[in-house]
């Protein structure tokens, strides 16, 4: 469970202070599928990075599964990122020198999982995203949609409580985007909590709930009535 | 498990920047090569000297005429001096004269150049040379000036076709005068040749004859030195000065004699080796320092180039320690490969330089361990700062880096 209370984030650019989040309170339960929408610069990515423990808020309280994370050390955050959170980025963020399989194995390396189990689980995750026939391909030998599927496999391989995706279809064509949305749908059906940032209404409509940001504040929080499912 | 994965990443990174990495390694290579060269030549030199110990023994010294003073006829070493050293000095166990003469040895078939060593029965005890057939000189040979001779094994085979030529006769002398001597023994070649000094290598025959017989057939021969063996090594210095004083009193002169022993020779060698070690050690130290700075530099570049990668690794759960280890392993791998190349190069250099200074280099496990130790130490020491820099990167800052 994600519980945000009065989250603020201020960026200092020399003398200028940019308040990217101005006090966000948000609660997301297990099994939810939330789309965070809003215009560019409204603070969506900032919020996602905080939820994903990649960044720390300037003020406010954040409880992840009941644990207040603002007091945790860098290494404790790394541990939680490894076990509780899977992150999918707009630009995929795969390691170029590694093939698909090795990329998916990466989080398990840091979880000290033995190599045989690593391989088995990575193969399983790649099967879920439909890439069993591309496991030895390097990122530059894969299409954008395929790279994003590798990234999803990497994000789910540790069975995290939360799958976070920041504009996961932002760099993809429509067909690939639909593929990704189908995978998200399946994962959510199977119990994974998904939080996804997007500025496309079509994509947002795959979620069960939409949170709208504007200028660092939540301006709307509603359930999706005409949800797209598969 | 993780170490191995980190090692694979390091190798890949090195392979994708071969030239850059090699240039970085140069300092390490030169440093380690110098260390290996000096250590293996030093070990070879020490072993050669210790080998001399085994042949002559540590409790042996020799008395010689000083070569920087005028020598009059009455100053020359005599058999009486040897006799007196034996009788008067209680710490002396054996004493033997040595007089050398270049000449010829003839059989019916061959004429060969020979180095004759005129000496007496104690020489066998002092030099621990091996008589492999027959016997060494005895008291009676000396007393009577018998025409007997021992030759070395290789020469025996050359002259007679077989080793055991005891009982055969051989003509010895200079170009115009020859005398017939009876072979009473055959000596192991290695031993005697080393005693003959450096000229021995070019001389086919090495022969030991009674000093008294030598004086008969080579009237101009002089005793060049007296070998003296004490009961114990601790008596060496004391006995040396006593012997010199004794001979001075017998000849009524002063400051005409000097003594030498292998300990002082080894000390001299170690002193020179020490100077070389210091000089080359300094070169090695500077090279390793430069090499280390090179590694630090290349690792800082690598950290910057791979900032995004670090961000990705952190995003999926890498802790500071994991990133730190990854970059440390990379710097250590670079310096270890440099070290390995340095060891090979040092081995090559030692074998090229060795023959010029008459030393057979010894590459010991120790030298290799030292080299690997230094390489690892340099890799860790100069890799820590870049690795720490990588480990401390903020995940979100690193991820945004393009
Ligand atoms: N690292 C940063 N340094 C300074 N300002 C930033 C930084 N990241 C984001 N911002 C600012 O914070 C605001 C919110 O940015 P962001 O969260 O990326 O918005 P979105 O993802 O909704 O487009 C913007 O005004 C942006 O310029
Ligand atoms: Mg954004």
- State whether ipTM is beyond 0.90: yes
Q: Is residue A99 part of a domain?
A: yes
Pairing of strands A33-37, A209-214: parallel
Please report how many Cα atoms fall inside a 13 Å half-sphere around the Cα of residue B370, on the Cβ side.
Answer: 18
Q: Are B341 and B244 members of one domain?
A: no
Closest CA to A154 of A216, A92, A67: A92
Please name every residue paired with B112 in a beta bridge, in sequence order, or none if there are none: B105
Q: Which of B254, B284, B304 is the last residue of a domain?
A: B254
Q: Is residue A228 part of a domain?
A: no
Closest CA to A44 of A201, A221, A218, A227: A218
Q: Is residue A230 part of a domain?
A: no
CB A73 less than 6 A from any atom of ligand 1: no
Split into its structural domains, chain A has a count of: 1
Q: Are B288 and B242 members of one domain?
A: no
Tens-digit pLDDT string for chain B (402 aa): 578 888 888 888 888 888 999 999 998 999 899 888 888 888 888 888 777 666 666 788 999 998 888 888 889 999 999 999 999 999 999 999 999 998 999 898 888 889 899 999 999 888 767 899 999 999 999 999 999 999 988 889 888 989 899 999 999 998 788 999 999 999 987 644 444 444 444 556 889 999 999 999 998 899 999 999 999 888 988 999 999 999 999 999 999 999 988 777 778 878 888 888 888 888 888 888 999 999 999 999 999 999 999 999 999 999 999 999 999 999 999 999 999 999 999 999 999 988 888 788 888 888 889 889 989 999 999 999 999 999 999 999 999 988
Q: Is residue A198 part of a domain?
A: yes
Q: Are B34 and B101 members of one domain?
A: no
pLDDT at B275: 86
Domain with A96, as residue range(s), is 3-223
> What confidence tier does A91 reach under pLDDT thresholds 50, 70, 90?
very high
| CA A167 to ligand 1: nearest atom | 21
> What confidence tier does A30 reach under pLDDT thresholds 50, 70, 90?
very high
CA distances from A139 to A91, A94, A149, A156, B51 (A): 12, 7, 11, 18, 65
Split into its structural domains, chain B has a count of: 2
Q: Is residue B79 part of a domain?
A: yes
For A198-217, what is the mean pLDDT?
95
Q: What are phi and psi of B255, to 5 degrees?
A: 55, 35
pLDDT at B192: 45
- Pair of tokens at residue B192: 């005697």
Torsion over CA: B179, B83, B122, B71 (sign): negative
Q: Are B298 and B181 members of one domain?
A: no
Q: Are B208 and B116 members of one domain?
A: yes
Sequence-distant (≥ 6) Cβ neighbours of residue B300 within 8 angstroms: B385, B386, B389
Q: Which of B196, B228, B254 is the last residue of a domain?
A: B254
Test mutation, B317, B320, B392, B399, chain A, max A CBs within 10 A: B317
Q: Which of B254, B289, B310 is the last residue of a domain?
A: B254
Q: Is residue B197 part of a domain?
A: yes
- Pair of tokens at residue B376: 């690892």
Q: Are B132 and B103 members of one domain?
A: yes
Question: Closest residue of B to A49, CA-based?
Answer: B396
CB of A43 less than 8 A from some CB of B: no
| Helix, strand, coil percentages in chain A from 3-state DSSP, rounded to 5 | 35, 30, 35
Q: Are B29 and B86 members of one domain?
A: no
- Alpha-carbon distance of A76 to B4, in angstroms, equals 24
- Pair of tokens at residue B324: 């730190």
Write the DSSP assignment of B106-135 as a string of letters: E-SS-EEEEEEEEE-THHHHHH---EEEE-
C-alpha A48 – ligand 2 centre gap (Å): 9
Tell me which chain A residues have a C-beta less than 8 angstroms from the C-beta of B308.
93
Give me the residues near ligand 2 (ion), CB cutoff below 5 Å: A 45
Q: Are B94 and B235 members of one domain?
A: yes
What predicted TM-score, i.e. pTM, was given to this entire model?
A: 0.74
pLDDT at B197: 45
Q: Are B174 and B320 members of one domain?
A: no
Domain with B377, as residue range(s), is 3-52+267-400
CATH number, residue A214: 3.40.50.300
| CA A42 to ligand 1: nearest atom | 22
- Alpha-carbon distance of B183 to A10, in angstroms, equals 106
| CA A47 to ligand 1: nearest atom | 17
Start-to-end C-alpha separation, chain B: 31
Q: Are B118 and B28 members of one domain?
A: no
Q: Is residue A229 part of a domain?
A: no
Q: Are B244 and B374 members of one domain?
A: no
Proximal ligand: closest to the CA of A168: 2
Q: Are B149 and B118 members of one domain?
A: yes
- Alpha-carbon distance of B216 to B101, in angstroms, equals 12
Question: Closest residue of A to B13, CA-based?
Answer: A97
| Record: contact B5-A154, CB cut-off 8 A | no
pLDDT at B218: 92
Q: Write b or e for each residue in A54-65: b if 16 or more Cβ atoms lie within 10 A of its Cβ, otherwise e.
A: bbbbbebebebe
pLDDT at B199: 44
- For A:68-97, CB contacts with B below 8 A are 74-75, 78-79, 81-83, 87, 89, 93-95, 97
Contacts 24+ apart (CB under 8 A), B360-363: B360/B44, B360/B47, B360/B48, B361/B37, B361/B40, B361/B41, B361/B43, B361/B44, B362/B40, B362/B43, B362/B44, B362/B47, B363/B36, B363/B40
């Amino acid at each position: 469970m994600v519980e945000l209370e009065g989250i603020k984030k201020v960026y200092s650019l020399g003398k200028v202070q940019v308040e990217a989040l101005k006090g966000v309170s948000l609660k997301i339960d297990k099994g939810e599928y939330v789309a965070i929408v809003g215009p560019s610069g409204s603070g969506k990515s900032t919020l996602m990075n905080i939820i994903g423990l990649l960044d720390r808020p300037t003020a406010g309280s954040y409880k992840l599964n009941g644990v207040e994370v603002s007091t945790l050390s860098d290494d404790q955050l790394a541990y939680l990122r490894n076990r509780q959170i899977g992150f999918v980025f707009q630009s995929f963020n795969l390691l170029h020198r590694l093939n698909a399989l090795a990329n998916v194995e990466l989080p398990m390396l840091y979880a000290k999982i033995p190599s045989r189990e690593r391989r088995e689980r990575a193969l399983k995750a790649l099967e879920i995203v439909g890439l069993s026939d591309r496991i030895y391909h390097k990122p530059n030998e894969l299409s954008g949609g395929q790279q994003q599927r590798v990234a999803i496999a990497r994000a789910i391989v540790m069975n995290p409580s939360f799958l976070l995706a920041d504009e996961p279809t932002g760099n993809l064509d429509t067909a690939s985007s639909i593929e990704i949305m189908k995978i998200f749908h399946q994962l959510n059906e199977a119990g994974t909590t998904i939080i996804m940032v997007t500025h496309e209404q079509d994509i947002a409509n795959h979620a069960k709930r939409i949170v709208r940001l504007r200028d660092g504040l939540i301006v709307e929080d509603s359930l999706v009535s005409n949800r797209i499912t598969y | 498990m993780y170490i191995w994965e980190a090692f694979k990443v390091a190798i890949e990174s090195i392979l994708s920047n071969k030239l850059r990495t090699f240039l970085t390694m140069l300092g390490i290579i030169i440093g380690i090569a110098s260390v290996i060269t000096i250590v293996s030549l030093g070990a070879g030199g020490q072993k050669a000297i210790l080998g001399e110990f085994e042949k002559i023994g540590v409790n042996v010294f020799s008395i010689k005429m000083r070569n920087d003073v005028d020598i009059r006829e009455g100053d020359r070493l005599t058999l009486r001096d040897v006799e007196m050293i034996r009788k008067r000095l209680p710490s002396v166990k054996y004493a033997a004269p040595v007089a050398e003469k270049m000449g010829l040895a003839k059989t019916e078939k061959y004429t060969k150049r020979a180095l004759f060593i005129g000496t007496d029965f104690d020489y066998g005890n002092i030099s621990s040379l091996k008589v492999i057939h027959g016997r060494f000189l005895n008291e009676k040979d000396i007393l009577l000036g018998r025409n007997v001779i021992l030759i070395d094994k290789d020469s025996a085979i050359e002259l007679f076709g077989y080793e055991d030529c005891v009982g055969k006769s051989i003509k010895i002398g200079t170009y115009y005068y020859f005398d017939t001597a009876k072979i009473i023994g055959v000596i192991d070649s290695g031993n005697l040749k080393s005693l003959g000094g450096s000229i021995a290598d070019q001389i086919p025959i090495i022969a030991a004859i009674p000093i008294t017989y030598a004086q008969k057939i080579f009237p101009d021969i002089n005793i060049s030195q007296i070998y003296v063996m004490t009961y114990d090594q601790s008596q060496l210095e004391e006995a040396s000065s006593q012997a010199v004083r004794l001979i001075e009193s017998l000849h009524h002169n002063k400051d005409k004699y000097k003594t030498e022993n292998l300990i002082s020779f080894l000390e001299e060698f170690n002193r020179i080796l020490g100077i070389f070690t210091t000089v080359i050690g300094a070169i090695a130290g500077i090279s390793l320092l430069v090499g280390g700075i090179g590694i630090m530099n290349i690792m800082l570049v690598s950290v910057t180039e791979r900032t995004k990668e670090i961000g990705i690794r952190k995003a999926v759960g890498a802790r500071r320690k994991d990133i730190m280890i990854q970059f440390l392993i990379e710097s250590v791998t670079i310096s270890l490969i440099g070290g390995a190349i340095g060891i090979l190069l040092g081995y090559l250099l030692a074998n090229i330089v060795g023959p010029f200074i008459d030393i057979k280099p010894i590459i010991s496990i120790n030298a290799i361990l030292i080299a690997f130790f230094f390489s690892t130490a340099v890799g860790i020491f100069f890799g820590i700062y870049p690795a720490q820099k990588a480990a401390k990167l903020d995940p979100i800052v690193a991820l945004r880096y393009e």
